[in-house]
Amino acid sequence: MATLLEIYYDLSNDFDNSILANIPGPAEIWHQQELLYRIGVLDTAKMFGKTAPQSADPKDLCWHYQMMDAFFQSLTCERRYGLGADENLKKQRETAHGNLLQVIQDYKKRLGSFTPGSDAGYYKKTITNVIQTVLPVWIQYRQTYVEIEKEAAK
């Protein structure tokens, strides 16, 4: 089964191939820019997982955590626009945004007193878990702005 990132790449490539035959309309362009945004976020999160230091020394881990945390924090306040929204959709957006903020606050609280002990791989496992927890909530949040149907991928 394809990963979400692979599905997004396929959808983006379909768009690129389709513009050879037809000029896309505003809705298709809106959809494509959202796909490119999500691809960038998922690729960056993947990179954070791969680059997590294998160390038990907090000095080696701090810079990585700070960069990842700053990146996730930025996701809570950027691109907060979408096609017209009725009151119900606005409430869904607010709820999804609140859920994202809560997930981020939860990992910050847990990692605020992080101690890897002597396990050099513990940080990487922990960060991978954080990434796997944040991204689904972020995707759910983004879906309230621009819905991307995963089933549309070929």
Asked if 38 and 139 touch (Cβ cutoff 8 Å), the reply is yes
Instruction: Supply 126's token pair.
Output: 């922990």
Q: Domain map of the chain by residue range? A: 4-152
pLDDT in tens, 121-146: 899 999 999 999 999 999 999 999 98
Which of 48, 56, 70 is closest to 131 using CA atoms?
A: 48
Tell me how far the alpha carbon of residue 14 is from its chain's centroid: 22
Backbone angles phi, psi at 75, to 5 degrees: -65, -20
Which residue in the block uniquely carries the two structure tokens 């796909």?
35
- The tokens for 58 are 């907090």
Structure confidence by residue, pLDDT tens digits, 68-89? 999 999 999 988 877 777 889 8
pTM for the model stands at: 0.87
